[in-house]
Amino acid sequence: MLSIRSITKRFGGFTALDEVSLEISPGECFGLLGPNGAGKTTLMSLIAGLRKPDGGTISPGKSGARASLGLVPQNVALYTDLTAGQNLEIFGKLQGLRGATLRERVGEALEAVQLSERRKDVVKTFSGGMQRRLNLAAALLHRPGLLLCDEPTVGVDPQSRNAIFDYLGQLNRDGLTIIYSTHYMEEAARLCSRIGIIDHGKILALGTLDELLALLPFEDEIIFPNTSETKLFAERMAPHGKLVSENGAQYRFFPQLKLSEFYRRAEELNLPARLFAQQRPTLEAVFLHLTGRTLRDTK
Ligand SMILES: Nc1ncnc2c1ncn2[C@@H]1O[C@H](COP(=O)(O)OP(=O)(O)OP(=O)(O)O)[C@@H](O)[C@H]1O
């Protein structure tokens, strides 16, 4: 168990983390979901022992379970003039591996992130996604018990993203504890068994996806086109929920009135029901409910 109790971190007069408390169980994949600047990287760096908190405790300390820790940093940290194989050999040596074990682990890691065929290629010729995959492999050579992944898929193509997800899922099923930070709600929902929503240095809510969705005061969100036909209706609905305009093309409405009442009012303006698509809300709606902003607004 990793216990984070009332952690505070300040940079000068600015409070980046404000009394954050979390318990992470062995074998869980915990998601830290929040917009840019929320404090995710700061929290990761404190857990990794790269920075010291101004208040609070993290236990066990670096000499305990956290001694066996892998960190996938937000920015790719590789020697781009060297080959993929040479990079992993350097990281493996830094992690204390030598000889046959090192060679074996490097081979396994390249295989796991689907880069075996690029072993002898220089990293600067790799796509962003391939570099991300190698960055992940580098953190795992010493087979840590806890993996910290700080937004490992930013700027990654779908193929690499899926490869990273499949690999992390497999590692987690094999018992690796993972803390995964992201501002993509789909990633947190897909990969993590529990999610903490973080904003302005505070954990606003914590739970499974279903527990977080249960915080919402409505069951379905409604999507409808943004046209001259629906403009007046959207204006009338705005006080009865949260209305978000998406790229000027459609509205997403989080209702605070009964759906029967919503459709009755649409009918008053001769808007047919087929214009409206109802769907189960996502973590985006939970974030909006908790902060009044969308995750995208705050990027
Ligand atoms: N070394 C530092 N000095 C001053 N302020 C900092 C420092 N590191 C982080 N901050 C500030 O602390 C806040 C949290 O930053 P942090 O990098 O932890 O956020 P984040 O959630 O990881 O977001 P991002 O995805 O943008 O990295 C931000 O407002 C950031 O500007």
CA distances from residue 290 to 215, 249, 271, 287 in whole angstroms, order as listed: 9, 25, 31, 5
Residue 299: per-residue pLDDT: 44
Position in ligand 1 atom list of the atom nearest CA 14: 5
Position in ligand 1 atom list of the atom nearest CA 198: 21
CA distance linking residue 208 with residue 206, whole number of Å: 7
Output the tens digit of pLDDT for each of the chain's 299 residues.
Answer: 899 999 999 999 999 999 999 999 999 999 999 999 999 999 999 999 999 999 999 988 665 555 589 999 989 999 999 999 999 999 999 989 999 999 999 999 999 999 999 999 999 999 999 999 999 999 999 999 999 999 998 888 888 898 899 999 999 999 999 999 999 999 999 999 999 999 999 999 999 999 999 998 888 899 999 999 999 999 999 999 889 888 889 999 988 888 889 999 999 999 999 999 999 888 988 998 899 887 776 54
Q: Record the pTM.
A: 0.88
Residue 79 Cβ inside 6 Å of ligand 1? The answer reads no
Residue 61: per-residue pLDDT: 64
Q: How many other C-beta atoms are found inside a 10 Å radius of the C-beta of residue 204?
A: 18
Residue 60: per-residue pLDDT: 80
Distance 16 CA to ligand 1 centre (A): 7
Dihedral (C-alpha) 126, 164, 112, 49: value to the nearest 10 degrees?
90
Cβ(176)–Cβ(143) under 8 Å? no
3-state per-residue secondary structure call for the chain:
CEEEEEEEEEECCEEEEEEEEEEECCCCEEEEECCCCCCHHHHHHHHCCCCCCCEEEEECCCCCHHHCEEEECCCCCCCCCCEHHHHHHHHHHHCCCCHHHHHHHHHHHHHHCCCHHHCCCEHHHCCHHHHHHHHHHHCCCCCCCEEEEECCCCCCCHHHHHHHHHHHHHHHHCCCEEEEEECCHHHHHHHCCEEEEEECCEEEEEECHHHHHCCCCCCCEEEEECCCCCHHHHHHHHHHEEEEEECCCEEEEEECCCHHHHHHHHHHCCCCHHHCEEECCCHHHHHHHHHCCCCCCCC
Question: Prior bond to 73 cis, omega within 30?
Answer: no
Distance 284 CA to ligand 1 centre (A): 22
Map out the domains of the chain as residue ranges.
2-214, 221-280
Distance 63 CA to ligand 1 centre (A): 27
Residue 212: per-residue pLDDT: 96
Residue 11 Cβ inside 6 Å of ligand 1? The answer reads yes
CA distance linking residue 212 with residue 16, whole number of Å: 24
Residue 172 Cβ inside 6 Å of ligand 1? The answer reads no
Distance 116 CA to ligand 1 centre (A): 35
CA distance linking residue 242 with residue 257, whole number of Å: 11
Tokens 């006080």 sit at which residue? 239
CA distance linking residue 242 with residue 117, whole number of Å: 50
Q: Whose CA is nearest to atom 17 of ligand 1?
A: 41
Looking only at the bridges linking them, the beta strands covering 221-225 and 277-279 are antiparallel
Sign of the alpha-carbon torsion through 171, 172, 174, 177: positive
2-214 adopts what CATH topology? Answer: Rossmann fold (3.40.50)
Q: Whose CA is nearest to atom 31 of ligand 1?
A: 37
- For ligand 1, pick from 11, 197, 295 the residue to mutate: most ligand atoms within 8 Å of CB: 11
Query: Which amino acid makes up residue 106?
Result: V
Distance 48 CA to ligand 1 centre (A): 16
Distance 91 CA to ligand 1 centre (A): 26
Residue 250: per-residue pLDDT: 94
- For ligand 1, pick from 42, 44, 148, 187 the residue to mutate: most ligand atoms within 8 Å of CB: 42
